[in-house]
Structure 1
């Protein structure tokens, strides 16, 4: 196996606390990794009252869809004491991270609607195709817990199928604070592009990176760092932004580890 020291350091750009979790999982697989979040999650004003109202009406919903682990954390932070997830309400998730967040909150696996582990992609289209399309949505209530903005594809698809869909904005996505330490970390990456690889899980993280307050020429160096992208749309964004080497991967630490050295098996 290629020694970990010979592998590039994976720069995990997810917001915290997911970034630290990914770093730990990658390191356990023998991959050097560093948290370099390119997005902050900011709780929205007024969300607490909205989530309390949603919990009081939860059992009437056929589906509550969570777009990310952060949506799960925000929603369950407002759970009334002693409240359990209603057995007849599905908890929707597009990928493994959100599934894990729901399970950590006590939602049973049988209540979670999600693409299978071996799905070709983890997104709203895959969730619909694998878990939701075969259900009767006529007159059913659906709540989508998401960021301040987001894709409307699933909401539109469910409405076309007859569901009554509401969206609840749990948080806003903000750029990093760009502290001196964060800017120094980016500058260090730019000085040695070949020793690093980006792991992009959001197109917005790419935009934040390119808008970082760095010295002239520094952004060009950061574009020379190879990039792994967890969705084809993110890969397209990275290529359009000028990243020369972009490889799509599924959002799975094992696949990320294998992408660093495809000829070798990762550590057990």
Structure 2
């Protein structure tokens, strides 16, 4: 039976999904968290050693870029000595780059001073590498080195995965890039109740809030026989919208990733 009031299925990793669902509920939207990406610390000993070394030498970089709030959270562990904490960046000239407000919030929580953080403005069309580069490009010249802190899709993924586009822009400007994996991403392990929810939401009018192409791939993997022709998706980037259409979602809408616009878009879908 179709849902009669705005309901969103939030597919971000658990920490973000829980917060987004709570914020949407406060807005009057019956949001449910269904994390489609599992997040955890890196487990490969070699990757953990690389991470420790990167933490110890951030002052060697003109900038450190964190791809997400999870990258910040796992790079600045709660039990990390003060010398390696976000507060230590205050004693260096190292800038801290973030692609969007969620990452900025995680960095501030980790102790990074806001005046050291560069990020796209709140009115940016997207919160991604392209928008970030427009802000930070003037910082990079020949010989400058940037550390990109990201996630790994597998325990053996050297340096992690993602942000190659940004690395190419830095290289073209004469700089150089090092990568380090601060956390691992993986497929979710959905329980029976979550699987029932996902199957029902494929046709009951729920709005799937999709903020990652990887989450879409994981959804297809856990429900390989599911038909998505009656499902509605709200995506926060053109590349994610393309992935949702390729997965078979019958209705795909796009909006900026800012919370107020996401909430308004969910509400408007129920008014149509």
What is the TM-score normalised by the length of structure 2? Answer: 0.86
Kindly indicate whether the alpha-carbon contact (under 8 Å) linking 2:66 and 2:98 is maintained by their aligned counterparts in 1: yes
Deviations 1:94-120 (A, max 9, x none): 111111111111111111111000001
Cα distance in 1, alignment partners of residues 140 and 179 from structure 2 = 20
Kindly indicate whether the alpha-carbon contact (under 8 Å) linking 1:13 and 1:199 is maintained by their aligned counterparts in 2: yes
Cα distance in 2, alignment partners of residues 212 and 263 from structure 1 = 27
Residues 1:259 and 2:265 aligned together: yes
Cα distance in 1, alignment partners of residues 28 and 111 from structure 2 = 30
Residues 1:147 and 2:159 aligned together: no
Cα distance in 2, alignment partners of residues 19 and 90 from structure 1 = 28
Residues 1:81 and 2:81 aligned together: yes
Kindly indicate whether the alpha-carbon contact (under 8 Å) linking 1:94 and 1:122 is maintained by their aligned counterparts in 2: yes
Report the RMSD for the aligned CA atoms in angstroms: 2.0
Kindly indicate whether the alpha-carbon contact (under 8 Å) linking 2:39 and 2:183 is maintained by their aligned counterparts in 1: yes
- Cα drift, residue 160 of structure 1: 1.4
Matches within 5 A, 1:150-161: 150-161=162-173
Aligned to 1:162: 174
Kindly indicate whether the alpha-carbon contact (under 8 Å) linking 2:89 and 2:112 is maintained by their aligned counterparts in 1: no
Aligned to 2:184: 172
Cα distance in 2, alignment partners of residues 35 and 136 from structure 1 = 39
Q: What secondary structure is seen at the aligned counterpart in 2 of 1:10?
A: strand
Cα distance in 2, alignment partners of residues 250 and 37 from structure 1 = 20
Kindly indicate whether the alpha-carbon contact (under 8 Å) linking 2:64 and 2:96 is maintained by their aligned counterparts in 1: yes
Deviations 1:46-70 (A, max 9, x none): 3433222112211121111111111
Deviations 1:165-222 (A, max 9, x none): 10002223211113223222223324x521x1000010011111112146x5xx11x4
- Cα drift, residue 22 of structure 1: 0.6
Aligned to 1:114: 119
Task: Say how many residue pairs are matched.
Answer: 253
Q: What secondary structure is seen at the aligned counterpart in 2 of 1:77?
A: coil
Distance 1:127 1:79, change over 3 A: farther
- Cα drift, residue 124 of structure 1: 0.4
Kindly indicate whether the alpha-carbon contact (under 8 Å) linking 1:51 and 1:78 is maintained by their aligned counterparts in 2: no
Aligned to 1:13: 11
Q: What secondary structure is seen at the aligned counterpart in 1 of 2:76?
A: helix
Cα distance in 2, alignment partners of residues 240 and 198 from structure 1 = 15
Aligned to 2:204: 193
Aligned to 2:108: 103
Q: For structure 1, which segment, 41-50 or 63-72, has the greater mean C-alpha deviation from structure 2 after superposition?
A: 41-50
- Cα drift, residue 262 of structure 1: 3.7
- Would you identify which runs of 4 or more consecutive aligned residues in structure 1 move more than 4 Å? none
Cα distance in 1, alignment partners of residues 218 and 240 from structure 2 = 13
Which 5+ residue runs of structure 2 have no aligned equivalent? 153-160
Matches within 5 A, 1:47-62: 47-62=47-62
